[in-house]
Amino acid sequence: MKILVKLIIIMLILSSIVPSSVLGAPIVCTFTPNLGGTPTISDEYPSNTTSNIEFTPQLSVICNDQDGNTMTVNWSSNSSGEWVVFGYNVTTNGTIYQTNANFSNESTRYYWRVNASDGTNYIVEEYYFTTLADLPQFNITFAGNPYGYGGPLYLPPYDLADDVKPLADEGYYTNASHQSVTFMNVTVNVTDESSDVSEVWLHLLNETTWENATPNNTGYQMIFYNNNWTYNVTELGNYNYSFDIWANDTRNNSNTTSWEKRVGPDEFTYYRRYVSFGYAPETFNYTNENTNFYLFAERYTTSRPWADGLHHDQGTDHGDGKDTGYLLQTLPGEDIENISCAGYVGALVDETLTINQTDVFNVYQHTWWNGSGISYNDELLFGYNSTKRDLITTLDNPEQTSYGTNAVSNVSVYLEDLYPVDNGTYNMHLTSRLYNSSTEFNVTSNSIYQLMLMWETYNLIVVSNRSLLSWFIINVPDNTTLQDLDSDSDGLNDYEELYVTFTHPFLDDTDYDGVSDYSENNSGSDPNNYTDTSEPVYGSATFSNPYPENNSWTNYNDSDINITVSNPLGEEMDVYFYWFNNGSLIGSDLSVTNNTVANITVPFNYEFYQQYYWNITVVSSSYNNQSGNWTIQAESEHPDIDRDYKCYPSDLSILVGNYMTEGGAPRWIRSDLNFDGAINPQDLSILVGHYMEEF
């Protein structure tokens, strides 16, 4: 507009100073106004962020200037490490092209810029693309036992929960697991965009040593079948094994990948998967005490839910990162472990187990907890899941038995690092109960990690430490079996522990207050509440099976004395043996375990026909018990002579026979007997006289 005004002014001036005769016809002036619009760039090729682009592609964009002005267009790239112009165009509106010879490497991301200017205004657009992957590419589709069960939910290394990720097949080996078999079947899909794959090798890592120094086709070449390469690794032992896959294509390009697990919240944090082989499987049952677990907290990232993100590919709950715990066979210490959530929490087995295939038919839980607004008589819903595919959506509540209680004890503790509730002091409930499974399910060394114990109530906190112990036992036996067991030797049988005192059958002091469950139960204090304790109340040690039996005869040179000793606290005992008549110590047997035999050897031969009286004293950290008395009587050298202290012809016959025929030939014990090889009256008189004098 300003330019137009200036032109009008100039024309007016000229008309005033130039004669009209000079001017002649009217003067007509034309001009093209610049509207001031900024150029635009669009429709770039390759499209921004795209992949698998051919090498040295022809780049193109559409440039437009709304004024129709000519534009200068500069093209730049940072392929050399800094932005450098590699071409330019002078153009009007339309499509322009350039090529960069440096964009020639495979599997490379290239950044490029276009700067368009009409002399007054300009615009800069930046793009990138990735060239073709011209190396062999890998997808490890299986690494495990094709006849097995369990394993990660998602196909590694895609350990994050995402509907578009492929699922792993049953039998894929759980990370860090111990397998009873000694083989691993590996299948990998290998592709190459520009040529055929010619060779694929499995490079086996044994702990820190590669089985073969470099990949080669000696013993480790994989077999091509149905577009996949497979290898069955055999004779594996008790080591942590992992592997790499190597491949060559027909253009002599090589590539490799590792067997990995993703552990971070993003796409780029990995570490090696490993598994160990050849372990003897244990029977997974109550009497082996390998179905007993304690609660520990586990903290994990909050960026997204994980399906296989924990140590043994366990699937966490989702949300805040504080709602999932581990089940371990190690007792916790004094620090309080806690898991918490607005709705429900869960815990997963994390012991490295090698077990026989086992059905799970019940779980006993003993749980310290708090729920916002929950009274001490309300229920804590508890259950367990048998498959990770149900973890996020399903909470089973198996039928409980008639044995159960809520709030056996309650104590107050200060808790931190909670969600969604605040740090503070909370009164803790205790629920202790057996839950039967409505449907039995199977666990193996590879699938035990899919078992998740779960609790549900509003703003839930579950805690555990050595005094407030949250524990679980899988597959508790029937009542009759429990009544015959005292697994911790504390004087309470296992039935009483689980269903009367609600204490741990494998720990003699459940609340760790220094007084046994047996003693607290006898005294009336609470064996689950470490703040409610009492002085120990002890029963007596008991004795059984004395040898020799009371009032029995024993051979004069049978020098063993022993007896079975036990006490209700299951402590080791020192057992002292005394002669009752004079109180002298015969001997001792120290550190005798509960319900076993204490034994000594008498350091001399007994006198013939002499009676001996003995007793014992048992000493342990809680006992100093003296036993009753036992009597034994020594026989003569010839126990087949009757014991009435009188000599009869039958006695003489036995006596003479023994003296005369030992070893099958006459043997004269008495030097004053004649030596004619026959028993004469004189001999008999001498022999009987000596025999009778001994008494």
Give me 74's structure tokens: 């500069």
Beta bridge partners of 229: 188, 224
> Does residue 309 or residue 2 have the better pLDDT?
309
Rounded Cα gap, residues 91 and 478, in angstroms: 91
**630 in Cβ contact with 597 (< 8 Å):** no
6 located within any domain: no
Whether residues 83 and 194 share a domain: the answer is: no
What CATH number has the domain bearing residue 96? 2.60.40.10
Q: Give Cα separations from 295 to 346, 347, 577 (angstroms).
A: 10, 7, 46
Whether residues 123 and 142 share a domain: the answer is: no
Whether residues 592 and 683 share a domain: the answer is: no
Q: Which helix (H) or strand (E) holds 651?
A: helix 649-661
671 located within any domain: yes
423 located within any domain: yes
Beta bridge partners of 618: 575, 625
**What share of the chain in percent tops pLDDT 70?**
73
- Each residue of 137-182: pLDDT tens digit? 889 999 999 999 888 888 888 665 555 568 889 999 999 999 999 9
Whether residues 463 and 428 share a domain: the answer is: yes
Residue 630 belongs to what domain range? 542-634
35 located within any domain: no
The mean of the pLDDT values for the chain is 78
10 located within any domain: no
- Each residue of 275-314: pLDDT tens digit? 999 999 999 999 999 999 999 998 876 444 556 778 898 8
Whether residues 415 and 316 share a domain: the answer is: yes
218 located within any domain: yes
Q: What is the dihedral of CA 45, 46, 47, 49, to 10 degrees?
A: -150
Rounded Cα gap, residues 323 and 295, in angstroms: 12
Q: What is the predicted pLDDT for the residue at 677?
A: 52
Those residues whose C-beta lies under 8 Å from the C-beta of residue 663, and which sit 6 or more positions away, are none
Q: Which of 115, 130, 145 is a domain's end point?
A: 130
The count of structural domains within the chain is 6
Whether residues 300 and 342 share a domain: the answer is: yes
Whether residues 169 and 67 share a domain: the answer is: no
Q: Shortest CA distance to 138 belongs to which of 314, 317, 260, 272?
A: 260
Give me 522's structure tokens: 């006898």
**406 in Cβ contact with 435 (< 8 Å):** no
pTM: 0.63
CA atoms within 13 A on the CB side of 61: 26
Q: What is the predicted pLDDT for the residue at 44?
A: 96
Give me 681's structure tokens: 């009256």
The label of the residue with tokens 């024993």 reads 554
Whether residues 588 and 671 share a domain: the answer is: no
Mean pLDDT value across residues 403-422: 70
Please state which of the ranges 53-62, 196-205, 212-221, 610-619 shows the lowest mean pLDDT. 212-221
Q: What stretches of 289-448 show up as alpha helix (H) in DSSP?
A: none
64 located within any domain: yes
Please check the confidence at residue 38 and state whether its pLDDT lies above 60: yes
- Each residue of 300-349: pLDDT tens digit? 764 445 567 788 988 776 556 788 899 999 999 999 999 998 877 888 89
**433 in Cβ contact with 400 (< 8 Å):** yes
Whether residues 618 and 653 share a domain: the answer is: no
Give me 261's structure tokens: 């697990």
Whether residues 350 and 448 share a domain: the answer is: yes
Whether residues 294 and 371 share a domain: the answer is: yes
The 10 Å CB-count burial string (b at 16+, else e) for 612-649 is bebbbbbbbebbebebeebebbbbbeeeebeeeeeeee
Rounded Cα gap, residues 316 and 304, in angstroms: 11
> Does residue 2 or residue 381 have the better pLDDT?
381
Please check the confidence at residue 690 and state whether its pLDDT lies above 60: no
The β-bridge relationship of strands 460-464 and 358-371 is: antiparallel
> Does residue 239 or residue 21 have the better pLDDT?
239
Q: What is the predicted pLDDT for the residue at 439?
A: 66
190 located within any domain: yes
Q: What is the predicted pLDDT for the residue at 655?
A: 56
- Each residue of 355-391: pLDDT tens digit? 999 988 888 889 898 886 544 444 556 655 545 544 3
- φ and ψ at 122, to 5 degrees? -145, 165
Q: Which of 465, 491, 523 is a domain's end point?
A: 523
Longest Cα separation, the chain:
197
Whether residues 299 and 394 share a domain: the answer is: yes
The β-bridge relationship of strands 611-619 and 624-634 is: antiparallel
Q: What angle do CA 134, 138, 143 make, to 5 degrees?
A: 170
Per the document, the length of the chain is 695
Q: Which of 104, 130, 156 is a domain's end point?
A: 130
Please check the confidence at residue 488 and state whether its pLDDT lies above 50: yes
